[in-house]
Structure 1
Amino acid sequence: MSEVDDAIASARASWSRISDDRGAVGAARLPTRARARNTQAIGKRLTRIVVADAVILIAAMVIGWVVPLGIGGAMLVMALLVAATLLFAVWPAERAPTPERLASVDIKALPLQTERWLEAQRPALPAPAVTLVDRIGLRLETLAPQLARFADDAPEAIEVRKLVGEQLPAFVKDYERVPQALRTTPRNGRTPDAELVAGLSLIEQQIGEMTQRLAQDDLDTLATRGRFLEMKYRDET
């Protein structure tokens, strides 16, 4: 049993090292994620434009088989194509969920929905906070698949919802209510901007610790099964 315990301890230590490494890797991934977001948004707009233009052309072809369109009809089709292209090129992106919605959304969807909400808050945040928002987004992406096996009323789910779906949005909204001119003015030794950065940093750390706790059973099972395989098959050779 001591060898199994050693394997479990080794797995836990490895997870700690991986968590630290992910912090460095995550920082390198932040520009890549920003580019990915822009690429995804552009892709969605292009898809809408292609679909709309295809519908217009198909409709024009069907009508043309019945009634000749002529020059006037062709000009109308062209005008519709241009209008549809311009419309979907400037059409607002999908709306982010509200904090009220985050408080009640299914726990399995909560991390990604919270990430979408955070993305919408970026323009109102100072640069250091934006970097932390990106890091929190990485943490939420890691957390999301772990919550797939939990019901909404599970203790683990309740803990995640309290932090991710309630405390995080409330904290950011508290900052956003502070007048712009006062956000860099020290109060009790710290500016609201600095207060925001400190709070977001703590939240990121807490999400990382939640992820680690949720993974402990899987890490322990993996280490135990790995040691069992070694004892059963390697020691027999």
Structure 2
Amino acid sequence: METLRSFKHRNFRILFSANFVSNIGTWAQGVAQAWLILELTNSGSYLGIVTALQFLPTLFFSLSGGKIADKFNKRKVLMITNLTAGTSALSVATLVLTDHIKIWHVMFFAFMLGMGNAIDAPVRQSFNAEVVGKDDLPNAVGLNSANFNTGRLIGPGLSGILISLYGTGVSFLLNGISYFVVIAALISIRESELHIENHKRSSTKIREALRYVRARPDILAVMITVFFATSFGLNFNIFNTMMAT
């Protein structure tokens, strides 16, 4: 089928499956983290602070992630970012399951996860082009979007069940394991099948990209709209958790 043509690439099939597991784990942890914060503090302010600590690195370091994507081996960088995120999730899981968790632990590991994601996101998006090539990239982006949103549907529901049965620690454990599933998939990638192209120095590309955005009011308007939508419209997990307690 034309809509599934990216699956003809072995590397894409492997990563797609691993990312499906990881997406479920990520959304499961999101629910568990919010619930854990309220268990520890019963404070909406702390919930907002931890969320800010997790996502501020994306605001400040995503451009650096793009430079890293151009300069280093993307597959190896993704292994490091997933190792960082997986270790953070497993650390929180261990602290929760052993009843040693404190709010500062949650804040620290949320920030570490955010740092990993700030580098991971641009590198992963760039790596998709190497996995499927330019011709199949639009199709791969669509399939990955469906993958992400399917995880968004399954993860929170699964986390709710796990929290009701075992507490929040198991959701962190699930997410930690899911990152190592991605690492295993990255290890199994065949580099000989990647579509790797030579690029100019990343600093030049960033300047060119910023100039291009300034010269395109339509793109700038979309970016501003997305900024406000994600900043104020996608914090429903905070409100939902507060209303449920």
Between structures 1 and 2, the one with greater helix share: 2
Same fold by TM-score, threshold 0.5 exceeded?
Answer: no
TM-score normalised according to structure 1 size: 0.26
User: Whose Rg is larger?
Assistant: 1
TM-score normalised according to structure 2 size: 0.26
